[in-house]
């Protein structure tokens, strides 16, 4: 009973704080509008408040000022005003540390559901002075801290957790600094409406894929077959070690793979409608697992979902377009 009573005020305070933060975010969004892919921080966009250390520093300086006035001690006055001057300089430098920085969206890479989407933000310092202790953040997620020398540009990585497939939107993120002395916290909000793609999670209990369809050798295939030697090509990750031209590697030091023509080729069709499971997400996870496995072995595969069909092929483009189709598939199309 006592623990419940103790938790009640904290829940109320947390709820009030969350509502206040939502109002502040809406106010900032209405005040600033939507930012472009590249945004420069102007002075009116940079906010600043004292930290907990800064508040204690201010109280200490005020107490020293009262003591100096009470005892009329000149040395105490000198020390007090030096500390107050350090506080004002710190406040000015903290805000100046962000003003003039350019922020540009540098893209994301698709991930599987459950993995973090890594939003890349390029920050450029065009000024003639260095900027220190810069960090970007979103809610409880934040990037590493970096310094920027004059004219330098760095990529800041902001990881965002994922819980479902499709597009993950990053409507707002912040940039902040505590430099120097951590007496003040200076920050700015940016509203770029960024997004990253999340593929379905590959199933760990996927059944065996449908049997391959074999076509007798009538075309050259760059990864399979051993009937007629057709030449050498640059080694690609995933090639079988037995296809590596080891003698050529011994002569030149370059990894090459053998190509053969006239070999049998096989392909598979992955059809969403042929999976008996009732749950759509489970079926999409199974198709994702089949695509990932086929891509690793460089087998040709095709994909059929309601309204779309991709003929058998292999490679990065095939993998990307098939997984993107599954990520954005609308269940109402069934």
- Whole-angstrom distance, CA of residue 51 vs CA of residue 62: 16
pLDDT tens per residue, range 179-208: 999 999 999 999 998 999 999 999 998 888
At residue 217, the pLDDT reads: 42
- Whole-angstrom distance, CA of residue 281 vs CA of residue 92: 53
At residue 240, the pLDDT reads: 64
Whether residue 171 is predicted with pLDDT greater than 80 in this model: the reply is yes
Whether residue 334 is predicted with pLDDT greater than 60 in this model: the reply is no
C-alpha angle with apex 116: 169 to 144, nearest 5 degrees?
95
The dihedral built from the CA positions of residue 319, 290, 299 and 244, taken in this order, carries a sign that is positive
pLDDT confidence of 174, banded at 50, 70, 90? very high
Whether residue 226 is predicted with pLDDT greater than 60 in this model: the reply is no
Per-position DSSP letters for 150-164, written without gaps between them? TT-EEEEEEEE---S
At residue 261, the pLDDT reads: 56
At residue 186, the pLDDT reads: 96
* Number of other CB atoms surrounding residue 237 within 10 Å: 6
- Whole-angstrom distance, CA of residue 334 vs CA of residue 274: 12
Maximum average pLDDT range among 25-39, 221-235, 276-290? 276-290
Mean pLDDT of the region 304-323: 92
The answer to whether 187 touches 223, Cβ cutoff 8 Å, is: no
Maximum average pLDDT range among 13-17, 229-233, 287-291, 294-298? 287-291
Whether residue 294 is predicted with pLDDT greater than 70 in this model: the reply is yes
Secondary structure (3-state) at 270:
strand
At residue 216, the pLDDT reads: 40
- Whole-angstrom distance, CA of residue 61 vs CA of residue 78: 12
């Amino acid at each position: 009973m006592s623990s419940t009573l103790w938790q009640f005020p904290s829940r109320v305070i947390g709820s009030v704080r969350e509502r206040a933060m939502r109002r502040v975010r809406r106010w900032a969004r209405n005040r600033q509008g939507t930012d472009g892919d590249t945004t420069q921080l102007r002075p009116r966009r940079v906010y600043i408040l004292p930290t907990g250390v800064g508040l204690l520093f201010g109280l200490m300086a005020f107490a020293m000022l009262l003591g100096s006035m009470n005892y009329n001690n000149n040395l105490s006055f000198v020390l007090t005003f030096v500390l107050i001057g350090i506080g004002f300089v710190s406040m000015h430098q903290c805000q100046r540390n962000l003003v003039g920085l350019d922020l540009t969206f540098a893209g994301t890479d698709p991930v599987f559901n459950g993995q973090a989407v890594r939003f890349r933000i390029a920050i450029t310092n065009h000024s003639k002075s260095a900027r220190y202790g810069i960090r970007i953040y979103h809610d409880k997620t934040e990037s590493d801290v970096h310094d920027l020398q004059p004219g330098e540009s760095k990529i800041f990585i902001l990881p965002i957790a994922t819980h479902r497939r499709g597009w993950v939107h990053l409507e707002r993120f912040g940039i902040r600094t505590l430099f120097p002395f951590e007496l003040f916290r200076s920050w700015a909000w940016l509203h770029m409406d960024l997004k990253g793609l999340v593929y379905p999670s590959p199933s760990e209990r996927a059944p065996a894929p449908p049997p391959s369809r074999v076509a007798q050798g009538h075309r050259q295939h760059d990864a399979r077959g051993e009937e007629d030697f057709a030449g050498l090509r640059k080694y690609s990750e995933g090639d079988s070690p037995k296809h590596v031209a080891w003698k050529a590697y011994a002569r030149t030091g370059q990894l090459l793979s053998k190509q053969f023509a006239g070999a049998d080729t096989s392909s598979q069709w992955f059809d969403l409608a042929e999976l008996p499971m009732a749950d759509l997400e489970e079926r999409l996870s199974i198709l994702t697992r089949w695509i990932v496995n086929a891509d690793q072995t460089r087998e040709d595969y095709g994909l059929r979902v309601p309204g779309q069909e991709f003929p058998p092929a292999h490679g990065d483009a095939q993998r990307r377009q098939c997984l993107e189709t599954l990520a954005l598939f609308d269940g109402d199309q069934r």
